[in-house]
Copies of this chain bind each other. A is one copy, B any other.
Amino acid sequence: MNKRNATSADVAILAGVSQSTVSRSFDSNSRISEATRQRVFAAAEQLGYQINKAAQTMIKQRSDLVGLVTAGLEDPFRSEFLHKLIAEVQNSGLRPMVMDVSNRQTIDEELHGLIQYQLSGVIITSGTPSESIGKAFIKYGIPVVLINRTEHSDEADIVNLDNESAGAMAAEAFMKSGKTNLIVVRAKTPSFSSVMRAKGFLNYLASHVSNDEIQAKEVLCESGNYDGGYQVAKEILASAYKPDGVFFCMDHIACGFLDAAKQLITTKDMEDIGVIGCDDIALARFKAYDLTTVRQPSDEIAKAALQTLLNRLKHPTSVPTKQAISAELVYRSTLAKPITN
């Protein structure tokens, strides 16, 4: 193969210009005569020249690399969301560097590994364990965007789903459908998103509960996934408290519940129980579930996160922002849209 990749110096010689002229030719902001630029491009093309990002990073003090810190990719929402983030990073002309911190043992080591690459920024998504993981980056002057996390950082930008409203939307939908015995299910291990969703759900209902208009209670399942929902179904359906509306803080849990319910009770009985999920993962749209859910607009959130990061790169010293993206109720067959006039 090649002995050595072409450098700007090689291009300069071939084009008959100085090395710095080559460099300028690839910088759209530099004013350079169109003639020489074309000559440089031709030479570059001929040699297969590509800018060496390592050298560029050294001098510019930024790599255009964005760290995407995540965990628990077996969770379909997180996985789907990561893909959206990756796409957005690419669209912004940056490069994604994924770091999965599921393995708590090696977090520190991995973290420093990331810092060494002179990241332009880091996006930390929900599910990532340590609360203070962002601090480490900020300490090294790397901008941080937190997504759906509990921290009240005054140094990092924050993008959240409006989780409380999401929960309230589910509650409102049940009320509109005339449901009276409600349950909200979340995983035993608290996560920021789930806790806030459950809180929003119960808060919305609080006044109706004190009226004795309806009943509402919270149920915790073992794990925040399909199996958790599958297991909790027995508890919910066998108990004396007969729910007619169940809100799951994650779609995935709802799907497990629905599958278990099919075996535990008749289709007829199931029809009377409204089910709402949250997130709107791909699975929720499957015919097997066709789950009514509170959609988390992950495209929007990913876009917002990147826009936030780009703004910060432009204005490094501006005041950190905090935004909440609205959820949206999507009616499917597990809770029919009530007829309105």
In the bound complex, CA of A63 to CA of B79 (Å) = 27
In the bound complex, CA of A95 to CA of B118 (Å) = 13
Question: Nearest chain B CB to A310's CB is how many angstroms away?
Answer: 17
Question: Nearest chain B CB to A63's CB is how many angstroms away?
Answer: 7
Whether the pair A95, B74 counts as a contact (CB closer than 8 A) is no
In the bound complex, CA of A53 to CA of B119 (Å) = 10
Q: Which A residues between 262 and 291 are near B, CB-CB below 8 angstroms?
A: 262-263, 282-283, 286-288
Partner of A97, one of B54, B96, B140, B259: B96
In the bound complex, CA of A114 to CA of B115 (Å) = 19
Whether the pair B118, A54 counts as a contact (CB closer than 8 A) is yes
* Closest residue on chain B to residue A74 by CB atoms: B282
Binds B, one of A83-91, A122-130, A176-184: A83-91
Given contacts A100-B90, A260-B287, A51 and B116 within 8 Å (CB-CB): yes
In the bound complex, CA of A95 to CA of B259 (Å) = 39
Whether the pair A116, B259 counts as a contact (CB closer than 8 A) is no
Whether the pair B99, A53 counts as a contact (CB closer than 8 A) is no
Question: Nearest chain B CB to A47's CB is how many angstroms away?
Answer: 12
- A189 contacts B by Cβ under 8 Å: no
Whether the pair B55, A5 counts as a contact (CB closer than 8 A) is no
Given contacts A54-B63, A55-B58, A139-B1, A83 and B73 within 8 Å (CB-CB): yes
In the bound complex, CA of A5 to CA of B112 (Å) = 13
Which chain B residues lie closer than 8 Å to A54 at the CB level? 53-55, 57-58, 63, 117-118
- In the complex, given contacts A79-B83, A256-B287, what are 7 additional A-B residue pairs having Cβ atoms less than 8 angstroms apart? A50-B112, A53-B118, A54-B117, A93-B113, A255-B288, A256-B286, A262-B288
Which chain B residues lie closer than 8 Å to A98 at the CB level? 86, 96, 98
* Closest residue on chain B to residue A63 by CB atoms: B54
Whether the pair A230, B287 counts as a contact (CB closer than 8 A) is yes
In the bound complex, CA of A74 to CA of B286 (Å) = 14
In the bound complex, CA of A52 to CA of B55 (Å) = 12
Which chain B residues lie closer than 8 Å to A133 at the CB level? none
Number of A interface residues in the complex (CB < 8 A): 56
Question: Nearest chain B CB to A202's CB is how many angstroms away?
Answer: 29
Question: Nearest chain B CB to A307's CB is how many angstroms away?
Answer: 19
In the bound complex, CA of A100 to CA of B93 (Å) = 13
From A5, A53, A99, A263, name the one whose CB has the most chain B CB atoms within 10 angstroms.
A53
Whether the pair B110, A140 counts as a contact (CB closer than 8 A) is no
- A210 contacts B by Cβ under 8 Å: no
In the bound complex, CA of A55 to CA of B57 (Å) = 8
- A41 contacts B by Cβ under 8 Å: no
- A138 contacts B by Cβ under 8 Å: yes
Per-residue CB contact flags for chain A residues 59-70 toward chain B (1 = under 8 Å, else 0) read: 000010100000
- A48 contacts B by Cβ under 8 Å: yes
Per-residue CB contact flags for chain A residues 143-156 toward chain B (1 = under 8 Å, else 0) read: 00000000000000
In the bound complex, CA of A5 to CA of B142 (Å) = 11
- A16 contacts B by Cβ under 8 Å: no
Question: Nearest chain B CB to A24's CB is how many angstroms away?
Answer: 17
Task: Give 4 closest A-B pairs by Cβ, nearest first.
Answer: A54-B57, A53-B116, A73-B83, A259-B288
